[in-house]
Chain A
């Protein structure tokens, strides 16, 4: 009985973070996840970065596909300025075989990804961050040793046609951070695919 209680107590904070996820202003955790090149990547590997554009995305989701070119463009524009893109696939490949590690490698090659594309096999990072959709962006700003969640949500307001976007949420957030200003829109929602959670 005591043992169960102990396990429950251990699980409680995890369950709470899972239900909540991050809000703007929260401190985000670093992680160490397997990249498509076989190496493990963590945010600590980028000491020169000012922050990160963390994108939960995947291979199969039509909304993710619509945004792939824009994610590459974000990396090309902001990596030299200190905000590289870190893409993470959180989906359980048993539920969605198109999102397997091998298919991630294929998709990254096809599209010419310029950023790491990591596999969140245990789904712990997605749960901790509170990612629910693909694509789902978390802009993190480095403050000393901390990573501060500065924006959560959509890339822009025009999924199908990048040229028609009138609100480029992620760009506006990163531009504000680079100029030492407050991010105006800290959260913006969009339609997307549900993350394919494992059966527990």
Chain B
């Protein structure tokens, strides 16, 4: 019995450690579904490897996620790099130690989908959205900091 318990713990431990970075190339329909199906507070951040302020804030976003993960906060990173640059996005996440499954949105006819995500958004990145149970509760154009994001998340966790 004890042995089983140990094995279980080991499996869980390994499971946690093997949650590695991935960058799945997706289309807009799938992204909308991914946002809608998630419960709790979800931070959706649009970034790209070529965008310096985006890359700069990634560690802060990840730290917020790590600090609030236990309270059900999820982080959805959406790269807007071109699809053939997926390896570049993956390498960057690895370098930054961001161990998360993430997406690359392969939709370059931007005008066709930007308004579906957020009508107030003009398309500049970085851009961050916060959802609670599938409902959009915050639109943050431009860079975010650890502190400002924590404030926003706490507003949603303790309304």
Contact = CB atoms under 8 A, between A and B. Distances in A.
Interface string A172-188: 00000000000000001
Interface in A92-140: 96, 132-133, 136
Interface in B129-159: 141-143
A132 B122 contact: yes
A181 to B, nearest CB: 21
Contacts of A157: 108-111
Nearest to A188: B111
Contact of B110 (A191, A193, A194, A197): A191
Contacts of B101: none
Given A132-B141, A193-B51, A194-B142, A160 B124 contact: no
Interface of B: 48, 50-53, 80, 82, 108-111, 114-115, 121-126, 141-143
B141 A194 contact: yes
Interface of B is mostly: loop
Interface of A is mostly: loop
Interface residues of A, number: 23
Nearest to A194: B124
Contacts of B53: 194
Given A157-B108, A160-B108, A190 B50 contact: no
